[in-house]
Structure 1
Amino acid sequence: MKVVVVGCTHAGTAAVKNILASHPDAEVTVFERNDNISFLSCGIALYVGGVVKDPAGLFYSNPEELTSLGASVNMEHDVTNIDTDNKKVTAKDLKTNEEKVIDYDKLVVTTGSWPIIPPIKGIKSKNVLLCKNYNQANQIIEKAKDAKKVVVVGGGYIGIELVEAFAESGKQVTLIDGLSRILNKYLDQPFTDLLEKELVDRGVTLALGENVNEFVADETGAVTKVVTPSNEFDADMVILCVGFRPNTDLLKDKVDMLPSGAIKVNEYMQSSNPDIFSAGDSTVVHYNPTGQHQYIPLATNAVRQGMLVGKNLVEQKVKYRGTQGTSGLYLFGWTIGSTGLTKESAALNGIDVNVTVIEDNYRPEFMPTTEKILMEIVSEKGTNKILGAQFLSKYDITQSANTLSVAIQNNMTLEDLALQDFFFQPHFDRPWNYLNILAQAALEEAE
């Protein structure tokens, strides 16, 4: 069995390892455009901020490991065509320009995503940078050495983490986002209000509800200003973090996709062509809170889907369990966790929900210290089925997002969580765990 894997970051690496583990006789050929694999881009801000000293730790595999497992790994090779009718892949060696044509029985498309690059005047100015891969991370670090005024465009997780890293290193930082709140995909307003205040208190300039009209450059072509409809911001360096799009042009009109280009797959990771599998940022996920296909580019989704490609390559064995889009963030001492629907995303999906927000201590007041937790739970009206939750505290409550992710995936209700058995130990929690208390408060409001 000949297997060709196109793209080898998280999903591709997981797919190759599991294909060779499950099918040791498979002839696996890998094509990767970059000179590295398995880069944890979620660690870029930590690398930029100096928390991660050795970038080697941001890679959990390498071409040599995959080769030792039995794969034929072709680095710095760009796949230029996929002939799905004749099952052939054409790839060009970026160092020699030599072309190769490889036959396949099964094709695995793990081509990932690429940053969205808006059509803004001056966007090709020097020092207007993207933030996705290892080479870009190194470029940001190099340019940041001389930069004093940094503008970050995009208030999602990557943008916010970069804002923190630059602010901590003494840069003058401006954050611009077209929406009125930071982290709007993950958190509702009570949480973002608190975090926005923290950013301002740390000296960060917020320009929310503002789109970039133009990047102004000097006579050398280097960016000097970022212009919005109502203001101008000086900049030595700009980082674009406005989102990602699937890298799936090779299969356009050859398999079913969402309008975004994300490849549709069944619960065994097969596309509409059963011999073509897809996983990771190039692929849809089944979003459990709504029961719909959705595009959520996360490393957690990628490694799970990649593993399932290996399990299901020959026969349908293990079903995808779907995702809640669960995520965590550490920002200026705050720990933040979220899972499932927010109040805003529920409304966008036309789902009628109850939303309860409370604050409580994570452990008894008789202990020497405790910390407040701001908590929210989103539940379906009428059924009380849990659809989402958010947590924020100086105490590390991020694992609570994982707990609620399990609750959502297993269709638990507020009643289930209100009476769920959790241990009590004064060092860690109260006789009623704070998750019990949150669900009990939600039940009272739902009555």
Structure 2
Amino acid sequence: MKIVVIGCTHAGTAAIVNCAKLYPDAKITVYERNDTISFLSCGIALYVAGIIKDPKGLFYSSPEKLAELGVSTKMSHDVVSVDISEKKLKVHNLKSKEEFEDTFDKLIVTTGSWPILPKVDGSTLENILISKNYYHSNTIIEKSQKANNIVVIGAGYIGVELVEAFEMNNKKVTLIDSQDRILSKYLDKEFTDKAEKALSDHAIKLALSETVIRFEGVDGKVSKVITNKGQYEADLVILSIGFKPSTELFKGQLEMLGNGAIVVDEYMHTSKEDIYAAGDSCAVKYNPIEKQEYIPLATNAVRMGTLVARNLVKPTTKYMGTQGTSGIKIYDYNIASTGLTENSAKTYGIDVKTVMVEDNYRPEFMPTYDLAQLKVVYEKDSRRILGAQIVSKADLTQSINTMSVCIQNKMTIDELAFVDFFFQPHYNKPWNLLNLAGLSAE
């Protein structure tokens, strides 16, 4: 069996390693256009802030490790075309400039995603950067050392983490987003208000409900960011608007969502036989709405890549779907969320109710205790739990992993009230916060 894998970050690495173990007689070839693999881009902000000193720890595999498994890893090789019906592809060696063809019995598409770039005047000026891979992180660090005014465009996780990192390095920082709140995809206003105050308290300027209309420069380098409401001095601009699937090779050949995300079934099969896909190039089953959505997360990618390997020869293990569970630390606040927010439920037209619990996470007789805020979103009629969010200075984020399981198993808010959780004064109260949410629901 001849297996070809295109792309080798989270999903690709997981698929390759597991295929090598499950099918020792298979010939596995991976094509990767970069010269590094398996980079944890979620660590870029920690690297920029100086919290991580050695970036080598952000790589969890290498071509050498894959070679030990018998995998032929072709680095700096760009796949320029794929003919699915003929089961062949054309490859360009970026170093030697040679082009050649290869064939496959099974094709695994793990081409990932790429940052969305704004189509506005001045976007090609120097010092306007993106944040995705190892080389981007090094360039950001190098350029930021000489910059005084840094503007980050896009207030999702990457943008928020980067502005904190730059502020920690004593830079003057502005965060721009066209939405009226930061992290609006993940959190409701009660939570983003706290996060925004934490950023503002550290002198980070928030330019929300503003859309970038152009960049201006001097001597070919960016100097200003112009929005529909103002202008901001900038020696350095980081674009973190979002991501789009890198699936141009397969347009017209595979079923996709409107944004180009490849549609896969519960066994990671695409719409064509012997073609599998995983990670940021794919749509995923989003359990709260039971439909396909585009949710590019490393956790989704490694699960899907592992499942591709297990299901490559015959269907064995179903994908359980995702809740889009994620977390972030913003200064002293530990924040996590899963599933639908109250706001996103409205955009899907789902009639929901919510319950908010604010309580000290452990007994007041303890020497210290912190206030925690938990919100649970549930469907009005069925009372099925659809989402949850938590914020606290104590790290209670693992409770959101528990809520993810509740959503996946279609539990109701009433069942949550009486789930068996342990009590120990160092960690919690006799009624766990999650129990309290269930008990407090109308």
Into which bin does the TM-score normalised by the smaller protein fall?
over 0.9
Aligned equivalent of 1:64 = 64
Aligned equivalent of 1:39 = 39
Map 1:334-413 → 2, pairs under 5 A: 334-413=333-412
Give the counterpart letter for 1:281 in structure 2: D
SS of residue matched to 2:320: coil
Q: Equivalents in 2 of 1:63, 1:346: separation in Å? A: 43
Q: Equivalents in 2 of 1:416, 1:230: separation in Å? A: 48
Superposition deviation, residue 304 in structure 1: 0.3
Aligned equivalent of 1:198 = 198
Deviations 1:321-342 (A, max 9, x none): 1000000101101000100000
Aligned equivalent of 2:122 = 122
Superposition deviation, residue 120 in structure 1: 1.1
SS of residue matched to 1:213: strand
Superposition deviation, residue 50 in structure 1: 0.4
Aligned equivalent of 2:282 = 283
Cα contact 2:357–2:436 (8 A) shared by 1: no
Superposition deviation, residue 274 in structure 1: 2.0
Map 1:82-101 → 2, pairs under 5 A: 82-101=82-101
Give the counterpart letter for 1:16 in structure 2: I
SS of residue matched to 1:325: coil
Q: Equivalents in 1 of 2:61, 2:400: separation in Å? A: 28
Superposition deviation, residue 194 in structure 1: 1.1
SS of residue matched to 2:435: helix
Q: Would you say 1:176 and 2:176 are equivalent positions?
A: yes
SS of residue matched to 1:439: helix
Aligned equivalent of 1:22 = 22
Superposition deviation, residue 133 in structure 1: 0.5
Superposition deviation, residue 368 in structure 1: 1.0
Cα contact 2:15–2:306 (8 A) shared by 1: yes
Map 1:247-262 → 2, pairs under 5 A: 247-262=246-261
Aligned equivalent of 2:294 = 295
Greater alpha carbon shift after TM alignment, 237-246 vs 429-438: 429-438
Map 1:205-220 → 2, pairs under 5 A: 205-218=205-218, 220=219
Cα contact 2:198–2:330 (8 A) shared by 1: no
Superposition deviation, residue 107 in structure 1: 0.4
Superposition deviation, residue 75 in structure 1: 0.1
SS of residue matched to 1:66: helix
Q: Would you say 1:166 and 2:166 are equivalent positions?
A: yes
Give the counterpart letter for 1:408 in structure 2: I
Aligned equivalent of 2:223 = 224
Q: Equivalents in 1 of 2:364, 2:178: separation in Å? A: 42
SS of residue matched to 2:338: strand
Superposition deviation, residue 241 in structure 1: 0.2
Q: Equivalents in 2 of 1:386, 1:89: separation in Å? A: 45
Cα contact 2:80–2:91 (8 A) shared by 1: yes
Superposition deviation, residue 169 in structure 1: 1.1
Q: Equivalents in 2 of 1:210, 1:229: separation in Å? A: 6
Q: Which runs of 5+ in 1 are unaligned?
A: none
Superposition deviation, residue 366 in structure 1: 1.0
Q: Equivalents in 1 of 2:418, 2:410: separation in Å? A: 15
Q: Equivalents in 2 of 1:288, 1:377: separation in Å? A: 16
Q: Percent identity?
A: 56
| Alignment: residue pair count | 442
Superposition deviation, residue 206 in structure 1: 0.6
Give the counterpart letter for 1:197 in structure 2: K
Aligned equivalent of 1:436 = 435
Q: Equivalents in 2 of 1:311, 1:267: separation in Å? A: 12
Q: Equivalents in 2 of 1:317, 1:274: separation in Å? A: 16
Deviations 1:93-114 (A, max 9, x none): 0001111211100000000000
Superposition deviation, residue 249 in structure 1: 0.4
SS of residue matched to 1:384: coil
SS of residue matched to 1:225: strand
Aligned equivalent of 1:243 = 242
Q: RMSD over aligned Cα, in angstroms?
A: 0.6
Q: Equivalents in 1 of 2:430, 2:354: separation in Å? A: 24
Q: Would you say 1:73 and 2:73 are equivalent positions?
A: yes
Q: Would you say 1:321 and 2:351 are equivalent positions?
A: no
Superposition deviation, residue 204 in structure 1: 0.6
Deviations 1:23-47 (A, max 9, x none): 1111111000001000000000000
Deviations 1:378-407 (A, max 9, x none): 001111111000000000011011010010
SS of residue matched to 2:38: coil
State the 4+ residue runs in structure 1 displaced beyond 3 angstroms.
Answer: none
Q: Equivalents in 1 of 2:255, 2:355: separation in Å? A: 39
Q: Equivalents in 1 of 2:232, 2:192: separation in Å? A: 23
Q: Equivalents in 1 of 2:84, 2:166: separation in Å? A: 46
Greater alpha carbon shift after TM alignment, 408-417 vs 233-242: 408-417
Q: Would you say 1:272 and 2:282 are equivalent positions?
A: no
SS of residue matched to 1:259: coil
Q: TM-score, normalised by structure 1?
A: 0.98
Q: Equivalents in 2 of 1:57, 1:274: separation in Å? A: 38
SS of residue matched to 1:406: helix
Superposition deviation, residue 374 in structure 1: 1.1
Aligned equivalent of 1:263 = 262
Superposition deviation, residue 358 in structure 1: 2.4
Q: Equivalents in 2 of 1:132, 1:338: separation in Å? A: 23
